[in-house]
Chain A
Amino acid sequence: MPQPSISSFFMKT
Protein backbone atom coordinates (compact mmCIF):
# COMPACT_ATOMS: atom_id res chain seq x y z
CA MET A 1 0.00 0.00 0.00
CA PRO A 2 1.40 3.42 -0.91
CA GLN A 3 2.57 5.74 1.88
CA PRO A 4 1.60 9.40 1.41
CA SER A 5 4.02 12.12 2.50
CA ILE A 6 3.09 13.92 5.71
CA SER A 7 3.68 17.32 4.08
CA SER A 8 0.65 16.80 1.82
CA PHE A 9 -1.62 16.98 4.88
CA PHE A 10 -0.43 20.22 6.48
CA MET A 11 -0.06 23.73 5.15
CA LYS A 12 3.44 25.19 4.88
CA THR A 13 3.92 28.17 7.17
Chain B
Amino acid sequence: MFECRLPKAEVLKKTMDALKDLIKEAVWDVSAQGLSLQSMDSSHVSLVQVTLRTEGFDTFRCDKNIALGVNMDTMQKLMKCASNDDNITLKSEDNGDLLSLIFESPNGEKTSEYEMKLMDLDIEQLGIPDQEYSCTIKMPSGEFQRICRDLSNIGESVNITVVKGGVDFSAKGDIGNAKIHVTESSNVDNEKDAVTVEVNEPVNLTFALRYLNFFTKATPLSGQVSLSISPDVPLVVAYEIEDLGHVKYFLAPKIEN
Protein backbone atom coordinates (compact mmCIF):
# COMPACT_ATOMS: atom_id res chain seq x y z
CA MET B 1 0.00 0.00 0.00
CA PHE B 2 1.24 3.47 -0.94
CA GLU B 3 -0.49 6.60 0.29
CA CYS B 4 0.79 10.16 0.58
CA ARG B 5 -0.80 13.51 1.27
CA LEU B 6 0.28 17.03 0.41
CA PRO B 7 -1.35 20.12 1.93
CA LYS B 8 -1.55 21.94 -1.41
CA ALA B 9 -2.12 20.43 -4.85
CA GLU B 10 -0.42 23.46 -6.38
CA VAL B 11 3.11 22.12 -5.98
CA LEU B 12 2.31 18.84 -7.73
CA LYS B 13 0.41 20.67 -10.48
CA LYS B 14 3.46 22.84 -11.10
CA THR B 15 5.72 19.78 -11.08
CA MET B 16 3.59 18.12 -13.76
CA ASP B 17 3.66 21.35 -15.80
CA ALA B 18 7.46 21.26 -15.57
CA LEU B 19 7.61 17.74 -17.06
CA LYS B 20 4.81 17.19 -19.48
CA ASP B 21 6.27 19.00 -22.51
CA LEU B 22 9.54 17.10 -22.20
CA ILE B 23 8.41 13.55 -21.44
CA LYS B 24 5.31 11.63 -22.49
CA GLU B 25 5.56 8.64 -20.16
CA ALA B 26 7.48 8.10 -16.96
CA VAL B 27 7.76 5.96 -13.87
CA TRP B 28 7.29 7.42 -10.38
CA ASP B 29 9.43 5.29 -8.07
CA VAL B 30 7.93 5.14 -4.60
CA SER B 31 10.09 4.22 -1.61
CA ALA B 32 10.42 5.10 2.07
CA GLN B 33 12.53 8.09 0.93
CA GLY B 34 9.69 9.55 -1.12
CA LEU B 35 8.74 9.87 -4.77
CA SER B 36 11.32 10.09 -7.53
CA LEU B 37 11.28 10.10 -11.29
CA GLN B 38 13.99 9.99 -13.92
CA SER B 39 13.43 10.08 -17.66
CA MET B 40 15.09 11.08 -20.91
CA ASP B 41 13.08 13.04 -23.42
CA SER B 42 11.93 11.06 -26.47
CA SER B 43 14.97 12.06 -28.54
CA HIS B 44 17.40 11.16 -25.68
CA VAL B 45 19.01 14.59 -25.72
CA SER B 46 18.10 15.62 -22.18
CA LEU B 47 17.33 13.98 -18.85
CA VAL B 48 15.04 15.10 -16.05
CA GLN B 49 15.23 13.93 -12.46
CA VAL B 50 12.65 14.74 -9.79
CA THR B 51 12.87 14.06 -6.06
CA LEU B 52 9.99 14.68 -3.62
CA ARG B 53 11.18 13.73 -0.14
CA THR B 54 9.01 12.00 2.45
CA GLU B 55 9.61 14.79 5.01
CA GLY B 56 7.82 17.31 2.77
CA PHE B 57 4.52 15.39 2.83
CA ASP B 58 1.82 15.65 5.51
CA THR B 59 1.66 11.88 5.59
CA PHE B 60 3.61 9.28 3.66
CA ARG B 61 3.11 5.54 3.81
CA CYS B 62 4.96 3.09 1.60
CA ASP B 63 4.83 -0.56 2.65
CA LYS B 64 7.05 -1.73 -0.20
CA ASN B 65 8.83 -0.06 -3.09
CA ILE B 66 6.58 0.30 -6.11
CA ALA B 67 6.88 1.77 -9.59
CA LEU B 68 3.97 3.79 -10.94
CA GLY B 69 4.09 4.00 -14.74
CA VAL B 70 2.09 6.99 -15.89
CA ASN B 71 1.15 8.84 -19.04
CA MET B 72 2.29 12.35 -18.13
CA ASP B 73 -0.37 14.05 -20.23
CA THR B 74 -3.13 12.10 -18.48
CA MET B 75 -1.70 12.75 -15.02
CA GLN B 76 -1.35 16.46 -15.76
CA LYS B 77 -4.96 16.62 -17.01
CA LEU B 78 -6.22 14.98 -13.82
CA MET B 79 -4.04 17.22 -11.64
CA LYS B 80 -5.63 20.23 -13.33
CA CYS B 81 -8.95 19.12 -11.83
CA ALA B 82 -7.55 20.04 -8.40
CA SER B 83 -7.72 23.62 -7.12
CA ASN B 84 -4.36 25.00 -6.02
CA ASP B 85 -5.45 25.15 -2.37
CA ASP B 86 -6.94 21.64 -2.29
CA ASN B 87 -5.04 19.09 -0.33
CA ILE B 88 -4.17 16.04 -2.37
CA THR B 89 -3.81 12.36 -1.58
CA LEU B 90 -2.19 9.85 -3.92
CA LYS B 91 -2.96 6.20 -3.27
CA SER B 92 -2.16 2.86 -4.88
CA GLU B 93 -2.28 -0.79 -3.88
CA ASP B 94 1.00 -2.74 -4.01
CA ASN B 95 0.02 -4.76 -7.06
CA GLY B 96 -2.67 -2.46 -8.34
CA ASP B 97 -3.04 -1.02 -11.79
CA LEU B 98 -4.67 2.22 -10.65
CA LEU B 99 -3.45 5.41 -8.99
CA SER B 100 -6.11 7.24 -6.98
CA LEU B 101 -5.90 11.03 -6.82
CA ILE B 102 -8.11 12.52 -4.12
CA PHE B 103 -8.60 16.30 -3.91
CA GLU B 104 -10.17 17.85 -0.82
CA SER B 105 -11.15 21.51 -0.62
CA PRO B 106 -9.67 23.50 2.32
CA ASN B 107 -13.04 23.71 4.11
CA GLY B 108 -13.60 19.97 3.64
CA GLU B 109 -16.91 20.48 1.83
CA LYS B 110 -15.85 18.98 -1.49
CA THR B 111 -13.91 15.80 -2.14
CA SER B 112 -13.10 14.62 -5.65
CA GLU B 113 -11.64 11.22 -6.39
CA TYR B 114 -10.08 10.30 -9.71
CA GLU B 115 -8.57 6.97 -10.65
CA MET B 116 -5.89 6.82 -13.29
CA LYS B 117 -4.86 3.65 -15.10
CA LEU B 118 -1.19 2.82 -14.59
CA MET B 119 1.08 1.57 -17.35
CA ASP B 120 3.66 -1.17 -17.36
CA LEU B 121 6.69 0.78 -18.53
CA ASP B 122 10.26 -0.35 -18.94
CA ILE B 123 12.25 2.88 -18.85
CA GLU B 124 16.03 2.90 -19.01
CA GLN B 125 17.58 4.35 -15.86
CA LEU B 126 20.93 6.14 -15.85
CA GLY B 127 23.30 6.57 -12.92
CA ILE B 128 23.93 10.26 -12.27
CA PRO B 129 27.26 10.72 -10.46
CA ASP B 130 27.77 13.41 -7.84
CA GLN B 131 30.45 15.73 -9.09
CA GLU B 132 32.08 19.11 -8.62
CA TYR B 133 31.39 21.67 -11.32
CA SER B 134 33.70 24.36 -12.73
CA CYS B 135 31.01 27.02 -12.35
CA THR B 136 27.70 27.36 -10.54
CA ILE B 137 25.38 30.26 -11.29
CA LYS B 138 22.33 31.03 -9.19
CA MET B 139 19.90 33.57 -10.53
CA PRO B 140 16.20 34.50 -10.46
CA SER B 141 14.38 31.76 -12.37
CA GLY B 142 12.20 34.31 -14.18
CA GLU B 143 15.30 36.08 -15.45
CA PHE B 144 16.76 32.85 -16.83
CA GLN B 145 13.43 32.05 -18.50
CA ARG B 146 13.39 35.50 -20.10
CA ILE B 147 16.97 35.15 -21.38
CA CYS B 148 16.27 31.74 -22.97
CA ARG B 149 13.06 33.01 -24.55
CA ASP B 150 14.62 36.22 -25.87
CA LEU B 151 17.68 34.53 -27.34
CA SER B 152 15.43 32.01 -29.13
CA ASN B 153 14.42 34.93 -31.36
CA ILE B 154 17.99 35.12 -32.61
CA GLY B 155 19.34 31.57 -32.82
CA GLU B 156 18.95 27.92 -31.94
CA SER B 157 21.84 27.82 -29.45
CA VAL B 158 23.12 29.86 -26.55
CA ASN B 159 26.77 30.21 -25.75
CA ILE B 160 27.32 30.54 -22.01
CA THR B 161 30.58 32.13 -20.93
CA VAL B 162 31.20 32.27 -17.20
CA VAL B 163 33.99 34.36 -15.74
CA LYS B 164 34.54 35.68 -12.24
CA GLY B 165 31.76 38.12 -11.38
CA GLY B 166 29.43 37.51 -14.30
CA VAL B 167 27.95 35.47 -17.13
CA ASP B 168 27.48 36.15 -20.84
CA PHE B 169 24.60 34.48 -22.66
CA SER B 170 25.01 34.96 -26.40
CA ALA B 171 23.32 33.75 -29.57
CA LYS B 172 24.01 34.06 -33.28
CA GLY B 173 21.61 33.65 -36.16
CA ASP B 174 20.74 34.61 -39.71
CA ILE B 175 19.10 37.85 -38.60
CA GLY B 176 21.91 38.96 -36.28
CA ASN B 177 23.56 38.45 -32.92
CA ALA B 178 22.69 38.99 -29.25
CA LYS B 179 24.63 39.09 -26.02
CA ILE B 180 23.12 39.38 -22.54
CA HIS B 181 25.52 40.04 -19.71
CA VAL B 182 24.43 39.23 -16.16
CA THR B 183 26.60 40.59 -13.36
CA GLU B 184 26.90 39.03 -9.93
CA SER B 185 24.83 40.94 -7.36
CA SER B 186 26.88 43.07 -5.02
CA ASN B 187 24.22 43.70 -2.42
CA VAL B 188 20.80 42.07 -2.39
CA ASP B 189 18.04 42.51 0.17
CA ASN B 190 15.91 39.70 -1.16
CA GLU B 191 17.72 36.38 -1.65
CA LYS B 192 15.53 35.28 -4.54
CA ASP B 193 16.57 38.34 -6.58
CA ALA B 194 20.28 37.59 -6.18
CA VAL B 195 22.70 36.49 -8.87
CA THR B 196 25.69 34.54 -7.57
CA VAL B 197 28.51 33.21 -9.72
CA GLU B 198 30.94 30.63 -8.31
CA VAL B 199 33.90 30.03 -10.59
CA ASN B 200 36.58 27.40 -10.01
CA GLU B 201 37.66 27.76 -13.62
CA PRO B 202 36.05 29.84 -16.40
CA VAL B 203 33.89 27.94 -18.91
CA ASN B 204 32.55 28.59 -22.38
CA LEU B 205 29.97 26.10 -23.69
CA THR B 206 27.06 26.02 -26.13
CA PHE B 207 23.60 24.57 -25.46
CA ALA B 208 20.39 24.03 -27.46
CA LEU B 209 17.82 26.70 -26.55
CA ARG B 210 14.95 24.39 -27.51
CA TYR B 211 15.69 22.22 -24.47
CA LEU B 212 16.51 25.09 -22.11
CA ASN B 213 13.10 26.53 -22.98
CA PHE B 214 11.49 23.21 -22.03
CA PHE B 215 13.38 23.32 -18.71
CA THR B 216 12.11 26.80 -17.87
CA LYS B 217 8.58 25.36 -17.63
CA ALA B 218 9.70 24.64 -14.03
CA THR B 219 10.03 28.38 -13.29
CA PRO B 220 6.82 28.60 -11.18
CA LEU B 221 8.29 26.00 -8.79
CA SER B 222 11.12 28.18 -7.53
CA GLY B 223 12.22 31.80 -7.40
CA GLN B 224 15.80 30.77 -8.12
CA VAL B 225 17.43 28.46 -10.64
CA SER B 226 20.96 27.10 -10.46
CA LEU B 227 23.12 26.28 -13.47
CA SER B 228 26.06 23.92 -12.85
CA ILE B 229 28.55 23.84 -15.70
CA SER B 230 31.79 22.00 -16.46
CA PRO B 231 33.56 21.40 -19.77
CA ASP B 232 32.46 18.30 -21.70
CA VAL B 233 29.75 17.17 -19.26
CA PRO B 234 26.01 17.88 -19.15
CA LEU B 235 24.80 21.19 -17.78
CA VAL B 236 22.54 20.83 -14.73
CA VAL B 237 19.58 23.21 -14.47
CA ALA B 238 18.11 22.79 -10.99
CA TYR B 239 14.93 24.13 -9.39
CA GLU B 240 14.55 23.54 -5.65
CA ILE B 241 10.99 22.91 -4.43
CA GLU B 242 10.84 24.44 -0.98
CA ASP B 243 10.76 21.85 1.85
CA LEU B 244 9.97 19.05 -0.62
CA GLY B 245 12.69 18.33 -3.18
CA HIS B 246 13.85 19.40 -6.60
CA VAL B 247 13.51 19.15 -10.36
CA LYS B 248 16.87 18.81 -12.16
CA TYR B 249 17.41 18.82 -15.90
CA PHE B 250 20.58 17.63 -17.66
CA LEU B 251 21.65 18.73 -21.14
CA ALA B 252 24.88 17.88 -22.94
CA PRO B 253 26.79 20.75 -24.52
CA LYS B 254 26.85 20.95 -28.30
CA ILE B 255 30.17 19.94 -29.76
CA GLU B 256 32.32 21.82 -32.25
CA ASN B 257 32.24 20.44 -35.76
Contact = CB atoms under 8 A, between A and B. Distances in A.
B233 A13 contact: no
Q: What does DSSP make chain B's interface, helix, strand, loop or mixed?
A: loop
A7 B255 contact: no
Contact of B40 (A1, A7, A13): A7
A6 B256 contact: no
Contacts of A13: 125-127
Contacts of B126: 6-7, 10-13
A2 B45 contact: no
Contacts of A4: 252-255
Contacts, number: 54
B208 interface: yes
A8 to B, nearest CB: 8
A3 B252 CA distance: 7
Interface of A: 1-13
Nearest to A1: B254
Contacts of B170: none
Interface of B: 40, 44-47, 124-129, 157, 206, 208, 233-234, 250-257
A5 B45 contact: yes
B254 A9 contact: no
A2 B257 contact: yes
A5 B128 CA distance: 15
Given A13-B125, A13-B126, A13-B127, A6 B252 contact: yes
Given A11-B127, A12-B124, A12-B125, A6 B257 contact: no
A6 B127 contact: no
User: Which 7 A-B residue pairs are closest in the complex by CB-CB distance?
Assistant: A10-B126, A1-B254, A4-B252, A11-B127, A13-B127, A5-B44, A6-B47
A2 B255 contact: yes
Contacts of A8: 252
A11 B255 CA distance: 20
B201 to A, nearest CB: 19
A12 B256 contact: no
Contact of B254 (A3, A5, A6, A10): A3
A6 B252 CA distance: 6
Contacts of B253: 4
